Amino acid sequence: MFVKRLLFQSKTEYHAGNQAQTDRKYGIKHATDLTDQAVNKCTVAVFTPTLRTNQEKITKAATAAHKDNDFVYQARIPDSKTLETILAQPIAKPLPVILFPLTPDFRDNLTFQFNFF
């Protein structure tokens, strides 16, 4: 469970780092650290290819961001503690609660079957 949390946390940091490229605030370094931890702590052989794929993807993005920073901007890459905290977002909109019965003519078949005695 801990490895899965690290995997999803690294994916979150990776996507946040990609979105923050315009601000030159990279969370990709933090994502690299998290994915390395996940690969090192993984004991399930079936889960390892997914972690390796994620690690390669994040490492490539971190290398590209580092090269871009070194050649163009020469700015200091911020520490992961100075980056903004990523807040949880709802996955789907909650639906309104529908009150029972749906229509005035609604008849529940179960209660109708047992009320004939």
The pLDDT assigned to 42 comes to 82
Instruction: Determine the longest span between alpha carbons in the chain, in angstroms.
Output: 86
Domain boundaries, the chain: 2-73
Owner of token pair 């994620």: 54
Decide: 53 and 14 in contact? Cβ < 8 Å: no
Alpha-carbon distance of 113 to 69, in angstroms, equals: 73
Reading the chain (117 residues) residue by residue, the pLDDT tens digits are: 688 888 887 877 777 777 666 555 556 777 788 888 888 888 787 878 888 888 888 888 888 877 776 666 665 666 666 666 667 777 788 777 766 666 777 666 665 555 555
Helices (H) and strands (E) in the chain, counts: 4, 0
**pTM for the full model?**
0.50
